[in-house]
Each structure stands twice: as structure tokens, then as C-alpha cells.
Structure 1
Amino acid sequence: MENQQNLQEQLNQFQQLQQQAQAIAMQKQTVDIQMNETKKALDELSKTDDDREIYKTAGPLLIKTTKSESESDLKDSVEMLELRKKTIEKQEKRITSKLEELQTNLQSAMQQMQ
């Protein structure tokens, strides 16, 4: 009976880790999309003249800014997103490792019950 209860707890933990892994994968995808959009904006900005009027969004407002200020802001955003992605990848590795370990434990526990 105790083995079944322990097995059930491990199954519940496994399911929770799977959900966390899915959430992390979605976060990583979101960061990738944001990074691609930011890099595209930087690329487009590099094609514009230095004296061209540039506007950025701030909530519902459009605010006039300079090309150099926009480039700086976008580069900062890319750096921040790269850091966020590295953090997410570390979490992803940690959870994947736990999932693999738990899966091995569950498989051996189920074989012992047979």
C-alpha cells in the first residue's frame, strides 16, 4: 500500500514537472519571437537615414525619438532578451534532468510491482 502511495506521489510530481516544462517551452518561444522582432527592428533602423524622424511606442502613445536612441534601446532589449533566454534554458535543463530521473524511478518502481 505504501509503495502505491509513493508511486502515486511520484506520478503527480512527474505531471507537475511536465506542466512546468511546457510553460518554460512557451516562455522560451515568446522570448525567441520578441528577440526576432527586435532584431528585425534594428535591421530596419540601420537602413534609415540618421536625420529621419523616428517614433517609438509607449503604451498608447507614439513618442518622437532619435535614431541613435532607438538603436541603443533596441540593443539593450536584445541583450535583456538573450539573458532571459539563457535563464530559461537553464530552467529547461534542470527540469528535463528531473523529469528523466523521475521517469527512471517510476519505471523501476512499476517493474518491481509486477
Structure 2
Amino acid sequence: MSELQKKLQSLSEDYQKLQGELSTAVEARQQLESQQQENTTVNKEFALLDDDANIYKQIGPVLLKQDKTEAVMAVNGRLEFIEKEIKRIETQIEGIQEKSEKVKIEIMQIQQAAQQSQQAVAA
């Protein structure tokens, strides 16, 4: 019986670890989605500007003048990168969820087996 308890303890620890990883990945995705929203808003603002409008980029405490096409390209590049990262994180989340579900099923099977053996001993 102690062998089952050790296995169950190990699986429980694995499950908790996977849940922690899942939480971290979900937070990362939320952060990326927030950045995506910000950059999409900036892109919409750029669309409203004239081609000769003054655009400034903050680098540390300094504002540097930037060409509109250069600024638009930078924001579009950031959006592409963010979209790729979101897809990567979503794939990671799916993988963690699958592993977590397998461990959960295994835990339930061991618990059922332990209950059945206890009932058999009691009978």
C-alpha cells in the first residue's frame, strides 16, 4: 500500500507543478495580448496621421523624432512578433493541459484502485 501512496504523492506533486506552469503560461499570454492591444491602438492612431506628421519615440528620458514609415514598420514588426509569441504560448498551454489531464486521470485511477483494495480488505 505504501508503494501506491508514494506513486500518488509523486503524481500529485507533478500535477501541482503542471498547474503552476499553466498559470505562468496563461499570465504570459495575457501580457502579450495586452501588448498586442496597445500596439494595435498605436497602429490605428498612425493611420489617422498625415504622412508629414511629427512622431516621437521615447528612448529613456529622451524623445527622438522618427519618420512615420519607420514608426509604422516598427509597430507592425512588433505586432507580428507578438502574434507569433501568442501562438507559441497557446501551443505550450495546450501541451501543459494535456499532460495535466493525463496525470489527473492517473491519480484518479490509483485512488480508485486504493479504494477497491480497501473495500476488498474490509469485506
When normalised by structure 1's length, the TM-score is: 0.97
The code of the aligned residue for 2:14 comes to: Q
Q: Which residue of 2 aligns with 1:41?
A: 42
Measure how far apart 1:59 and its partner are: 2.7
Q: Which residues in structure 2 correspond to 1:89-108 (within 5 Å)?
A: 89-108=90-109
- Residue of structure 1 in register with 2:26 after alignment: 25
Alignment of 1:30-109 (within 5 A): 30-109=31-110
Aligned residues: 114
Q: Which has the larger radius of gyration?
A: 2
Deviation at 1:66, TM superposition (A): 0.8
TM-score of the superposed pair, with normalisation by structure 2: 0.90
Q: CA deviation at 1:47?
A: 0.2
Higher alpha-carbon deviation: 57-66 or 43-52: 57-66
Specify the SS of the correspondent of 1:50.
Answer: coil
Comparing 61-70 with 27-36, which one deviates more in the overlay?
A: 61-70
**CA shift at 1:63, angstroms?**
1.3
Deviations 1:74-98, CA, capped at 9 Å, x for gaps: 0000000001001101100000000
Partner-residue secondary structure (3-state), 1:49: coil
Alpha-carbon distance in structure 1 between the residues aligned to 2:109 and 2:10: 15
Q: Which residue of 1 aligns with 2:112?
A: 111
Tell me, in whole angstroms, the C-alpha distance in 2 between the residues paired with 1:112 and 1:59.
62
For 1:33, the aligned partner's letter is: S
CA RMSD, 1 decimal: 0.7
Is there any run of 5+ residues in structure 1 with no aligned partner, and where? none
Unaligned runs of 5+ in 2: 116-123
